[in-house]
Amino acid sequence: MNKEKEKILLYAIDKFFGEGFRNITMDTLASELKMSKKTIYKHFNSKEELVNSVAKHTINDITSSINEMINLNLNSIEKFLKLFAFIGRVAYKASDKWLADIEEYAPETWKEIDAIRAELMNRNLSKLILQGQKEGYIIDAPVEIIITIYVTGVRAVISPQFFSTNKFSVNETFKKVYEIILNGILTSKGKRVFRKIGKDFL
């Protein structure tokens, strides 16, 4: 990606995440970037293409970062906490407006995000749960059941519908979801480790 296109994309990520994109025009972006609208259209044929690029770039970055965390030489609880802290930072940047605009004005992109989110959670949670069970930190329950509860809960709560009817921020909701679910699957041994190191992450 050339520097000009990258500059537009990174600015759009910050702008759209913070304010949504429904009311932001290409003219606005061009003015704030101090470049012509023609320059933006040279790299992105439409606002819709720019929105899709923002979503895909973000998904790729998140996927890469999570894969790195899963492969760290740490115990399962440390990995869970690093994962939660990372996703919390991402969630902090994502406003409720961004989520609502994606679902309403870019439904196909939202479906893609939701599908990738579910697949990412399934694949990586399986590894973490199995590691945690071997370490004696996670309860001896079927991995499939734990993952289904987790994925279903996250998909239901971290959604535009939830935020449109509740007063919680995205970041606050992420932290509570992870804290509740993690405490629910930890053994007594795991909870002791969680209490010891959790404050440094959450």
Residue with tokens 């001896």: 140
How many Å apart are CA 52 and CA 144, to the nearest integer?
A: 32
Phi-psi region of 74 (alpha: psi -120 to 50; beta: other; left: phi over 0): beta
How many Å apart are CA 53 and CA 61, to the nearest integer?
A: 12
Rg over CA atoms, the chain: 19
How many Å apart are CA 33 and CA 26, to the nearest integer?
A: 10
**Residue (of 5, 178, 6) closest to 84 by Cα position:** 178
Full pLDDT tens readout for the chain, 202 residues: 799 999 999 999 999 998 999 999 999 999 999 999 999 999 999 999 999 999 999 988 888 998 899 999 999 999 988 887 787 777 767 777 888 898 889 888 888 888 887 788 788 888 999 999 999 999 999 999 988 888 787 777 777 678 778 888 777 787 788 778 888 899 999 999 988 887 665 5
How many Å apart are CA 91 and CA 169, to the nearest integer?
A: 9
Residue type, 118: A
